[in-house]
Amino acid sequence: MNLVFALAAAILFGIGAYLVLQRDLVRLVLGVAVISQSAVLTLLAASLRLGAAPIYPLPEGTLSDPLSQAMALTAIVIGMAVTALLLVLVFRVAVAFRSDELEEVAGEEVSLDARLEETEGEAHEREEAAAR
């Protein structure tokens, strides 16, 4: 079973990594979501034991590890929070730049930066001159 879980979690992680490298920002968010799924799966698979649900009255036989379940729950919730925040962030970027292509957004940023720099450079020089 180790092998199966490891394989599944690793494939999910690889797919997530691939998605994160895309230039489409929405796919980047998808990638983050997939990676967090892979993390939760790993957490649960790492329980020391698998078996019945740990609910009283305790059933016969082995019990699943409740501690890693609690941790997995936390991981799921935080993963969701991060995904939602990222997605809305991307949405804002797409509205502001009329594009969700990483390159286009970055290009826009750079040109904005250059303009800002020009004005700021002038201000800086004035300040330096005033300091003398």
Q: Which of residues 30-69 bind another protein (CB under 8 A)?
A: 30, 33-34, 37-38, 40-42, 44-58, 63-69
By beta-carbon proximity to another protein, the closer residue of 23 and 115 is: 23
Distance CA(55)–CA(125), nearest Å, equals 70
116 forms part of the interface with another protein (CB under 8 A): no
Contact assessment for residue 94 and residue 108, using Cβ atoms and an 8 Å cutoff: no
Task: By CB under 8 A, name the one of 18, 115, 118, 122 that touches another protein.
Answer: 18
Cα separation of the two ends of the chain: 73
Are 23 and 102 a contacting pair, CB within 8 Å? yes
Residue 132 within binding range of another protein, rule CB under 8 A: yes
CB of 86 to another protein, least distance (A): 9
Cβ proximity of 117 and 49 under 8 Å: no
| Residue 128 near another protein by CB under 8 A | yes
Instruction: Indicate whether 113 belongs to the interface with another protein (CB under 8 A).
Output: yes
